[in-house]
Amino acid sequence: MFKKVLIANRGEIALRIIRTCREMGIKTVAVYSTADRDSLHVRFADEAICIGPPRGKDSYLNIQNIMAAAELTAADAIHPGYGFLAENAVFAETCAKYGIKFIGPTAAHIRAMGDKITAKETMIKAGVPCIPGSDGLIESIADAKRLAKKIGYPVILKATAGGGGKGMRIVREESEIERAFNTAKTEAGAAFGNDGMYVEKFIEEPHHIEIQVAGDQYGGATHLSERDCSVQRRHQKLVEEAPSPFIDEKIRKKMGDAAVKAVEAIKYESVGTIEFLVDKHKNFYFMEMNTRIQVEHPVTEEVMDFDFIKEQILIASGQKISGVKYFPDKMHAIECRVNAEDPFNNFAPSPGKITALHTPKGYGVRVDTHIYAGYTIPPYYDSLLAKVICRAKTREECIVKMRRSMQEFIIEGVKTTIPFHLALIENAEFRSGNYDTGLLDRFDFVSAMREMKSE
Amino acid sequence: MVSKSNISGLKIKQGDFEIKISNKGDEVYTNGVPVAVQQMPVFQPQTVTSTVAQPTPAEATAAKQDAEPANSFTFKSPMIGTFYRKPTPDKDVFVKVGDVIKNGDVLCVIEAMKLFNEIEFDGGEGRVIKILAEDSSPVEYDQPLFLIEKVN
């Protein structure tokens, strides 16, 4: 087992990893930029080392600095968390080259699934249902028009190197496609350094339902059922739950089997997630695979009583997957992401000093966070403040608990999305359990929040 | 901060980590203990009265002691790696105490991942008063390396 793990990340996930390492008797090294000097992960790691100035590219994204830190502290493994270098094949390769274990899949796995077009080809070969679309990159506007006509409008143009909603455009008719193609291409080039585009059928009212998976170096592969992540704003997840209220045992089995096929097809090692889009007829289509731990992993942990970070570390150290199966009718869990953003003002970022803090507690309430009273949120990184995960025997009880938790949650000094979550919990569509990724386009949450305020 | 209290100076020692604070301003000086073996102090008041605020862990932002000339500043490490005062073990140090330096002068080499980076001075013109990091020791980004007195 590893003696010392360096966490190449920050914020709540760095703390999360430190906690599990502590429990496993593994020493921890925190790396931090000068903007994160007062961050909690720096305090709680066994050692901490400053690797650069605030900007990501000079610190958390800087492979050389992180490897130097690992070398200086004699770390024998690196956990990349999520975001930053978690899906950077060059980083995984560099770790391997220097004999430091990257706690995650291999560079080959990352590459295979990182390029969306290659990933899709691999999945089609493995017999995993995929969204009808172009076989490769779109060569020209004429090509785009031809493909779109063949697939049938509406279509969506997507960047092959994409993520986080960038380089994507929905096109409903041919007259729109030229402009959409050009702007998406430009955006993709700027965001990812790669402006390659492909096109797919746009699934209307899709449900984003993902399957948690795990694989090991011995060919072991398993799935740990689904999370419903359909509550999204501009392709960013805000709320997740398990099990999905939209699918039943039959669909779960089909999706789970497809996900295992995907893991076996690439001989995937470590934990990961296969994201599917499910249409209103419950047909499911492979969208992409995330070859890392996800932000919303606690939702599955809570319904399964399972530590995914521990599983990652065990798999990385050469052990077989635990092979745990998930039994969906035991528990339900919902996670709300609380961000430092103003939901009354188009979710404008709100960095600053937290002057007062009280996190919700009590039975069935878990809060994963790095913030504390007196902490100043730096403006350089993401706006995630805390993840509140509620767990109960039924979805209804979960919702009641989430309402109580959001009412109890006090953060002063910065604007947060707590009012948004309080409004969402009362939304009829969300409550029905049958909601798709278009929910927030339909839900006038600003009015709902205002009404709640005046009550 | 310390300057608001009536304490004229104090010293905190916790394991290998030591802080000395003087009340001639808000600056803090730490001795050059290699970062890698440091235990990070947590939020606890130690043997200090509660009127003294805890300094942020480990890093000095400037160094100014009672005996130091006004008009000195620290030159901090621009990268993380191993700090070497000599270009090769058999040669002499790049700079020693008393040397006058100017922009572009190489002060040291910092090695990371087998790449050796020559670190150039960029603080104008100055005289080296003190070496703040040990030769062949690991240094982190922003760690104080040299105490320089401004000349002109």
Best B113, B114, B137, B139 residue to mutate vs chain A (most A CBs within 10 Å): B113
Q: What is the pLDDT of residue B68?
A: 63
Residue A57 burial (CB count, 10 A): 9
Residues A73 and A47: beta-carbon distance below 8 Å: yes
- pLDDT on residue B27: 34
Q: Given a cut of 70, is residue A90 above it in pLDDT?
A: yes
Least CB–CB distance from A43: residue in B42, B112, B141: B42
Give the residue, A329 or B39, on which the prediction is more confident.
Answer: A329
Phi, psi (degrees; rounded to nearest 5) at B70: -65, 160
Average pLDDT over residues A2-17: 98
Q: What is the Cβ-side half-sphere exposure of residue A264, based on CA atoms within 13 angstroms?
A: 14
DSSP sequence for A93-148: HHHHHTT-EESS--HHHHHHHHSHHHHHHHHHHHT--B--B-SS---SHHHHHHHH
* pLDDT tens figures, A298-328: 999 999 989 999 999 999 999 999 977 676 6
3-state secondary structure at position A356: strand
What are B77-120's pLDDT values in tens digits? 999 999 999 999 999 999 999 999 999 999 999 999 889 999 99
The first and second tokens of residue A84, run together, are: 């930053």
pLDDT for res A324:
73
pLDDT at B15 over 70: no
Between strands A77-79 and A4-7, the pairing is parallel
User: What angle (nearest 5°) sits at the alpha carbon of residue A438, between those of residues A192 and A289?
Assistant: 45
Nearest residue in chain A measured CA to CA from B82: A72
- Averaged pLDDT for residues B23-29: 37
Does the pLDDT of residue A419 top 80, yes or no? yes
Q: What does the pLDDT read at residue A327?
A: 67
**Class of the CATH-defined domain A207-454:** alpha beta
Q: How many CB pairs under 8 A join A and B?
A: 68
Residues of chain A with CATH 3.40.50.20: 4-103
Using pLDDT thresholds of 50, 70 and 90, give the confidence band for residue A136.
Answer: confident
Partner-chain contact B36 A72, CB within 8 Å: yes
Q: Look at residue B33 in the predicted model and tell me its pLDDT.
A: 34
Q: Write out the two tokens for B70.
A: 């006004």
Which tokens is A393 given?
Answer: 């025997």
Look at residue B73 in the predicted model and tell me its pLDDT: 95
Residue range A196-228, pLDDT digits in tens: 999 999 998 899 999 999 999 999 999 999 999
Parallel, antiparallel, or unpaired: how do β-strands A384-392 and A365-369 relate?
antiparallel
Q: C-alpha B127: how far from its chain's center?
A: 15
Q: Is B40 an interface residue toward A (CB < 8 Å)?
A: yes
Chain A: residues touching B (Cβ < 8 Å): 33-34, 37-38, 42-53, 59, 64-65, 67-69, 71-73, 98
Confidence bin at A45 (pLDDT 50/70/90): very high
- Helix, strand, coil percentages for chain B (3-state, nearest 5): 5, 40, 60
Distance in angstroms (rounded) separating the CA atoms of residues A198 and A318: 38
Q: What is the pLDDT of residue A338?
A: 98
Single-letter amino acid code for the residue at B54: Q
pLDDT of the residue at A329: 66
Judge whether residue B59 has pLDDT over 70.
Answer: no
How do residues A263-300 score in pLDDT, each as one tens digit? 999 999 999 999 999 998 899 999 999 999 999 999 99
What pLDDT is recorded for position B35?
34
β-bridge pairing A4-7 and A27-33: parallel
Homologous superfamily assigned to A132-201: ATP-grasp fold, A domain (3.30.1490.20)
For residue B42, what pLDDT is reported?
A: 41
A30 bridge partner residues: A7, A48
Whole-number average pLDDT of chain A: 95
Q: Which residues of B touch A75 (CB under 8 A)?
A: none
Over residues A235-261, the mean pLDDT reads 95
Rounded average pLDDT over A101-109: 98
Residues A223-233: pLDDT tens digits? 999 999 999 99
Q: Which of A16, A111, A252, A292 is catalytic?
A: A292
B144 and chain A in contact, CB less than 8 A: no
Kindly state the average pLDDT of the residues B5-27.
Answer: 44
Query: pLDDT band at A453, cuts 50/70/90?
Result: confident
Residue B57 has pLDDT above 50, yes or no: no
From-to residues of CATH 3.30.470.20 in chain A: 207-454
Q: What is the pLDDT of residue A328?
A: 65
**Which residues in chain A touch residue B138, judged by CB atoms under 8 angstroms apart?**
72
Domain boundaries, chain B: 72-150
Q: What is the pTM of this model?
A: 0.83
Statement: residue B64 has pLDDT above 80: no
Q: Would you state the pLDDT for residue A164?
A: 65
Beta bridge partners of A157: A169, A199
Q: In whole angstroms, what is the distance from residue A329 CA to residue B70 CA?
A: 71
Distance (Å, rounded) from C-alpha A327 to C-alpha A304?
8
d(CA B82, CA B112): 7
Our answer to whether residue A37 is catalytic in this structure is no
Give the CATH number of domain B72-150.
2.40.50.100
Q: Is the pLDDT of residue A111 over 80?
A: yes
pLDDT of residue B38: 35
How far A64 CA lies from chain B's nearest CA (Å)? 7
Gap between the Cα atoms of A334 and A403, Å rounded: 11
The predicted model gives A409-429 an average pLDDT of 98
Best A4, A29, A72, A93 member to test B by mutation, with max B CBs in 10 Å, is A72
Instruction: Please report the beta strands in chain B, taking only residues with DSSP state E, as ranges in sequence order.
Output: 9-14, 17-22, 28-30, 72-76, 81-84, 100-102, 106-112, 115-120, 125-131, 137-139, 144-150
What share of chain A has pLDDT > 70, as a percent? 98
Res A417 pLDDT > 50: yes
Pull the structure tokens for residue B87.
């270009």
Range A150-158 average pLDDT: 92
What fold characterizes domain A4-103? Rossmann fold (3.40.50)
Which H or E element spans position A27? strand A27-33
